[in-house]
Structure 1
Amino acid sequence: MSLPAGKRQTADPRPILIPADEAEQRKLQRRAKAGEITRIAAGVYANAVDPADLPTGQFGPVAQLVRRNWQAILGHLIPGAVVSHLSALKGGITPADEVTLSHPTRFNTTLSMPGLAAVLIKGPAALPGDMPLGSSGLYWSSRPRMLLENLGRSRSSKPRRAGHAGVEEKLVEILNASGDAALNRVRDEARSLAEAMDAADDFATLNGMIGALLGTWAAGTLLTPQGQRVAQGTPVDAERLHRFQILADALRATPVPDLADAAAQDPARTHFAFLESYFSNFVEGTRFSIEEAEAIALQNRIVPNRPKDSHDILGVFQLILHPHYRSSLPAPADILDALRERHLRMMENRPEVQPGEFKVQTNYAGGTRFAEPAFVRGTLLEGAQLAGSVPEGLARAIYYAFLISEVHPFSDGNGRLSRLLMNAELSRCGRSRIIIPTLYHEQYVDAQRALSRQNDPAPLIRALSYIARWTTSFNCTDLHATIAALKAANAFEEDAREFKLLTPNTTTETP
Structure 2
Amino acid sequence: MSQLIFAENTVESKKLAKSVAEGKLKRLRAGIYTDAKWEDIPNLINSKWHQIVTYLYPDAMVSHSSAVYLLPKENVIFITAPVKIRKKVKISDLLTIEVLPGNVELLKEPFQPNAFRSSPARYLLENLQISHKDVDSVKSLGKAWVEKELCRLLERYGEQELNRIRDTARSHAQSLNMKKESDILCGLIGAILSTQPIDTLSTATAIATAKNEPFDPNRINLFNALADYLKQCSLKGHPYNYNTASWRHLSFFESYFSNYIEGTEFEIDEAEKIIFEKNEINHRHQDSHDVMSVFDVVQDYTEMITVPNNADELMNLLSQRHALIMEARPEKRPGKLKLSINKAGDSVFVKPEQVEGTISQAFSVYSELPEGLPRAIFMQFLISECHPFDDGNGRLSRIMMNAELAYAEQFKIIVPTVHRESYLNGLRQATRNGKFRTLTKVFSDLHGYTSSVNWSDYAEARYQLEKDYADKLPDQGVAVFNKQISKYRIELPVG
Query: C-alpha distance in 2, partners of 1:371/1:287?
Result: 28
Residue 303 of structure 1 deviates from its aligned partner by 2.2
Query: C-alpha distance in 2, partners of 1:482/1:336?
Result: 35
Quick one: which of 435, 460, 463 aligns to 1:481?
Answer: 460
Query: C-alpha distance in 2, partners of 1:498/1:324?
Result: 35
Quick one: which of 289, 304, 310 aligns to 2:288?
Answer: 310
Quick one: which of 426, 432, 447 aligns to 2:405?
Answer: 426
The change in CA–CA distance for 1:219 and 1:505 in structure 2 (over 3 A counts) is: closer
- Is the 1:234–1:378 contact (alpha carbons within 8 Å) kept by the matching residues of 2? yes
Q: How does 1:21-420 map to 2 (within 5 A)?
A: 233-261=212-240, 264-333=242-311, 334-420=313-399
Residue 499 of structure 1 deviates from its aligned partner by 3.5
- Is the 1:501–1:509 contact (alpha carbons within 8 Å) kept by the matching residues of 2? no
1:299-334 per-residue CA deviation (whole Å, 9 max, x = no partner) reads 212225111111101111010122332111122232
1:113-153 per-residue CA deviation (whole Å, 9 max, x = no partner) reads xxxxxxxxxxxxxxxxxxxxxxxxxxxxxxxxxxxxxxxxx
- Is the 1:486–1:504 contact (alpha carbons within 8 Å) kept by the matching residues of 2? no
- Mark the structure with the bigger radius of gyration: 2
The change in CA–CA distance for 1:359 and 1:388 in structure 2 (over 3 A counts) is: same
The change in CA–CA distance for 1:237 and 1:321 in structure 2 (over 3 A counts) is: same
The change in CA–CA distance for 1:430 and 1:507 in structure 2 (over 3 A counts) is: closer
Residue 439 of structure 1 deviates from its aligned partner by 0.8
Residue 496 of structure 1 deviates from its aligned partner by 3.5
The residue type paired with residue 249 of structure 1 is D
Query: C-alpha distance in 1, partners of 2:212/2:264?
Result: 39
Residue 403 of structure 1 deviates from its aligned partner by 0.4
- 1:458 is matched with 437
**SS in structure 2 of the partner of residue 234 of structure 1:** coil
- Is the 1:502–1:508 contact (alpha carbons within 8 Å) kept by the matching residues of 2? no
TM-score by length of 2: 0.55
Query: C-alpha distance in 2, partners of 1:489/1:411?
Result: 34
Q: Could you tell me the percent identity over the aligned residues?
A: 34
Query: C-alpha distance in 2, partners of 1:329/1:317?
Result: 18
Query: C-alpha distance in 1, partners of 2:325/2:215?
Result: 26
**SS in structure 1 of the partner of residue 287 of structure 2:** helix
The residue type paired with residue 294 of structure 2 is V
Quick one: which of 413, 426, 430 aligns to 1:447?
Answer: 426
Query: C-alpha distance in 2, partners of 1:465/1:242?
Result: 23
- Is the 1:470–1:503 contact (alpha carbons within 8 Å) kept by the matching residues of 2? no
Structure whose residues are more often helix by fraction: 2
1:414-471 per-residue CA deviation (whole Å, 9 max, x = no partner) reads 0100000100010001001000110111101111111111111122111211111111
CA RMSD of aligned residues (A): 2.5
The change in CA–CA distance for 1:340 and 1:268 in structure 2 (over 3 A counts) is: same
The change in CA–CA distance for 1:259 and 1:510 in structure 2 (over 3 A counts) is: closer
- Is the 1:473–1:504 contact (alpha carbons within 8 Å) kept by the matching residues of 2? no
- Is the 1:341–1:356 contact (alpha carbons within 8 Å) kept by the matching residues of 2? yes
1:71-106 per-residue CA deviation (whole Å, 9 max, x = no partner) reads xxxxxxxxxxxxxxxxxxxxxxxxxxxxxxxxxxxx
**SS in structure 1 of the partner of residue 334 of structure 2:** coil
The residue type paired with residue 429 of structure 2 is A
**SS in structure 1 of the partner of residue 248 of structure 2:** helix
TM-score by length of 1: 0.53
